[in-house]
Amino acid sequence: MADNRQMENREHNENRKKTGNGASERGFGHDRKSGNGPAHRASAGGFAKKRNTTGRPFAEGSREGTPASKREHAPSSGRSEGFRGRSESDRAPQKAPGREIRRFGDRKPGSGEREGYRAFEHRPRAPRAVEGLASRRSALKVLRAVTEDGAWASTALDKELQSAGLNPKDRRLAARLAYDTLDRLYYLDALLDQVMAKPDTDIKLRNVLRLGACQLLLEDHIPDNAATDTSVELCREIGLDGLAGVCNGILRNLIRRREELRIEEEDPVKRISIECSAPEFLVRRLAEDYGMDGAEQILRVSGRDSKLTIRPNLMRLNAAQFEALLGKKVWEWEKGELRDSWYVQGAANIAQDTDFLSGNFSIQSEQSQMACLAAAPKRGNLVLDACAAPGGKSCYMAELMDGTGRVQAWEIREHRTKLIEAQVKRLGLDNVRPMTRDAAALREDLIRSMDVVLLDAPCTGTGEMHDKPDSKYRMKEENCEELIALQKTMLDTVCEYVREGGTFVYSTCSVLKDENERQIESFLERHGEFEIAELPDTIPERIRAAYKTGVQLLPGVNASGGFYICRMRRKRL
């Protein structure tokens, strides 16, 4: 009886192998005639979707019914899958001259499908307790949300960190990996392409590889095995069991060859575009304004050097009281460059801090504070903040006026007006009036009625790319021209509200001269009734010394990042 049971078990196990219900192993396929989807998938080097009689996929070139244990798969010798049956000299792909570097989310013309392999997907498995995996899992979710779903990195990261339950150390690592990967996306893709037999991969696998490559190439204190092992596990977690071996092989190949990998591009614009991960049109525009070296310097600035800046609610706390409050925190802090700015470190999830929620302080960058100091509102003034959301500048100007006067805070979209309302309520300010209004549409009833008008105009955001790396990939040259035209319209409109002798401040978080210096030069040519006004003493002397047609702050040069401010005055008749 025992012999019969053993024989039945042996036959059962053999049948499991024949029907493919054992190990999930798949190879690369190149069948153009299978009829499984458009031909361009196969021509791009995609996975074949041929299926055997059991309904399970199998490797191209294998026979239906061949035991899974004997199918060709990534060998244990360390070779990456996709290099099977090729000599060592053939295995290392060479960069074709002038080959275009593929960008994330690119689609083949007219196909409606993303370029690359169509991966065999499995149902995602439950997360396993692997050391260091939790932070990588969160970083990958952010990366996928941005590159696959079009989410903003800051929003995706906040959402993930609120739900992931990570400890402070893992939170910091997850945020750093997500942002570092996004910041150097083109560069990581270019180097990965050099170690892959078929670079056009499924976007899900590509994102796992990007995250792994970031750890191997850009991070200083992450062991190679931690980067590769967690990447392989992430493949399995997101349903790419069959590509776990491919992922491991590619990253191992990257480790072996990383010292020899180079971006060999003679055209400096293309080289900087790849190395700094920025659109080529942006590199050209920055080079026109600051020279090629200056453009590269701006684009190489890392968000790691940014400082979280906070300021007290001036209606409640003076400087001494605020420092006493900071002394009770576990944060590291130091006085900032401006009168109301303090830099803090180690403030995990600061937006949930009780003193923040109760309105004792605000999170506001120094450049944003500087625009308000340039406006220099006085007690009892009527002030217009023409593009106000999320409300930080409106609230700071209201506090600078000791709660007197009135600040009209305009925003064109109602949901963004609600952000201003939330700020005003949190800080307990009675002299701010949030309104849903279009700053580009003239209101005749407000002409010459304002003591101060601040136009922090919509812009390309090129001064904040180091803090918002995903913004680079959303930029289009035609959109840049549209923004410049919108800025011109807004300047011509809101300047009408400034009374004689009143102050008009124009600011952007851009470094492009067409949005800043040249924009103001053109405005002054059209509006001779305005003149450049000096910056007040509340702005540091080193910045005032560089003030001409406005002042241009540059990332990497100024701690505050990239920003432009111009203070003007309507002449008295």
Q: State residue 367 phi and psi, 5-degree precision.
A: -65, -35
Instruction: Look up residue 311 and give its DSSP letter.
Output: E
What one-letter code names the amino acid at 279? P
- Spatial separation of the C-alpha atoms in residues 171 and 177, rounded to whole Å: 10
Closest to 183 measured CA to CA, from 465, 472, 469, 555: 469
Q: Are strands 382-385 and 450-456 parallel, antiparallel or unpaired?
A: parallel
Closest to 29 measured CA to CA, from 105, 89, 88, 82: 82
Instruction: Look up residue 467 and give its DSSP letter.
Output: T
C-beta separation of 549 from 517 below 8 A: yes
Q: State residue 343 phi and psi, 5-degree precision.
A: -95, 140
Q: State residue 383 phi and psi, 5-degree precision.
A: -125, 140
Measured CA angle at 471 (ends 466, 472), to 5 deg: 80
C-beta separation of 211 from 177 below 8 A: yes
Residues 247, 387, 509, 566: which is the catalytic one?
509
Range 84-90, long-range pairs (CB < 8 A, 24+ positions) = 84/27, 84/28, 86/197
- Spatial separation of the C-alpha atoms in residues 490 and 496, rounded to whole Å: 10
Closest to 338 measured CA to CA, from 317, 319, 358: 319
The gap from C-alpha 128 to its chain's centroid, in whole angstroms, comes to 28
C-beta separation of 326 from 276 below 8 A: no
C-beta separation of 22 from 71 below 8 A: no
| Residue 311 β-bridge partners | 362
C-beta separation of 366 from 559 below 8 A: yes
495 is catalytic: no
- Spatial separation of the C-alpha atoms in residues 399 and 394, rounded to whole Å: 9
> Crossing angle, helix 168-183 and helix 133-149, to 10 degrees?
40
Tokens of 235: 């493949």
Q: State residue 504 phi and psi, 5-degree precision.
A: -125, 120
What are the residue numbers of the active site? 509
